[in-house]
Structure 1
Amino acid sequence: MNTLFILHQPICIKNPSLYNKKNRPFNPTTLNNHLPFSITSWKLQAEAKGFGGDGSKPSQKKTNNAPKNSTSQEQEEEDDDKIPEVVFDRMIRRIVVSVGLPMAIGVVLLKLFDMLKEKQVWDVPLWVPFVTTFVFFGSSVLGVVYGSLSTSWDADKKGSLLGFEEAKENWDEMWKEEGN
């Protein structure tokens, strides 16, 4: 009963901060000055496979102070592989279908199991919705990869409906650079 009585009393904190700002062991500006490297100068050096660079060394970002000549701009544009708009649209459509279809089936089956149990038609064992969720939502995640690989990467070639041949060709093409 005493515990409930204490809960009704207002809490008053006279000194809201127990941390004294004057006694900080490290000042953020002096900490950066004493380190052999600057934390603010860290940059990611990773590049996605197939989207620029040769993969042998991290790309160096050019500063704004250095003037660019036209040959370096042309060379930089040639190095970056641009995805044609037609191929990108095909890829997005395939990804939406290959992700959306299994996810929709998974949601419908979960709702169906709920209705069957609610109307007492079938007492659905607990493992059935778990397996259903694992299979259909897991295949939905794999749909992102399949949607991008099953698309024909050639702008002139449309490709097949399911894209099995394109997926095999694109898989080999993607890993061909690794072997070299």
Structure 2
Amino acid sequence: MAKKSRPTPPPPKKRGWQQIEAPGMPQVVSDRMMRRMVIFCGLPTLLGLLAFPSSYLLLQQGLKVPVVAVVGVTLGCFGLGIVGLSYGILSTCWDAERQGHWLGWQELRINWGRMRANSKANRNNAPT
């Protein structure tokens, strides 16, 4: 018996060198979010990764650093990285035509309100 071959789906339509965007988040908003996440999450995480080598260098110079302080600084930096990840997403302007403020306090309040309203609506519509 011969196997039946399935038809392959057509390739996505292209516009020049770009693919046509599917409905959802615009690429400019996604890029903006990524930049903010790298800044607000990447920098504290990098500092957390540098805490151990820095403490080793200080130890080599004769300065005794308590282990608890090194662990505390590392965990604090990693915690800031996690908070920064959420802040990077929520402080981004989700409007493709508007850039928003560089710190994003206004956008954070707007997006937090949207998220809470959506959560409340989903909770009210959930089957019981």
Partner of 1:84: 26
Quickly say closer, same or farther: Cα 1:139–1:81, change in 2 above 3 A: farther
Question: What letter is aligned with 1:167?
Answer: L
Q: Residue 177 of structure 1 is aligned with which of 97, 111, 118?
A: 118
Select which of 99, 109, 122 maps to 1:158.
Answer: 99
| 3-state SS of 1:161 partner | coil
Match in the other structure for 1:66:
none
Which residue number in structure 2 is paired with residue 93 of structure 1?
Answer: 35
Is 1:138 matched with 2:79?
yes
Out of 103, 111, 133, the residue aligned to residue 45 of structure 2 is: 103
Q: 1:81 Cα shift?
A: 6.2
Q: Distance in 2 between matches of 1:172 and 1:163?
A: 14
- Pick the structure with more helix per residue: 2
Q: How many residues align?
A: 100
- Residue 83 of structure 1 aligns to a residue in which SS? coil
The percentage of counterpart residues that share the same residue type is 35
Q: Partner of 2:56 in structure 1?
A: 114
Aligned CA-pair RMSD: 1.6
Partners of 1:128 and 1:175 in 2: how far apart?
37
Q: Structure 1: any 5+ residue segments left out of the alignment?
A: 1-79
Structure 2: 5+ residue stretches without partners: 1-21, 122-128
Taking the aligned partners of 1:111 and 1:165, their CA distance within structure 2 comes to 38
- TM (norm. structure 1) is 0.52
- TM-score norm. by structure 2 comes to 0.71
**Residue identity matched to 2:104:** G
CA distance in 1, matches of 2:120, 2:86: 21
- The structural deviation recorded for 1:173 is 0.6
Q: Which has the larger radius of gyration?
A: 1
Deviation string 1:126-159 (CA, Å, 9 cap, x unpaired) is 1111101110011112222111101000111101
Q: Which amino acid aligns with 1:98?
A: F
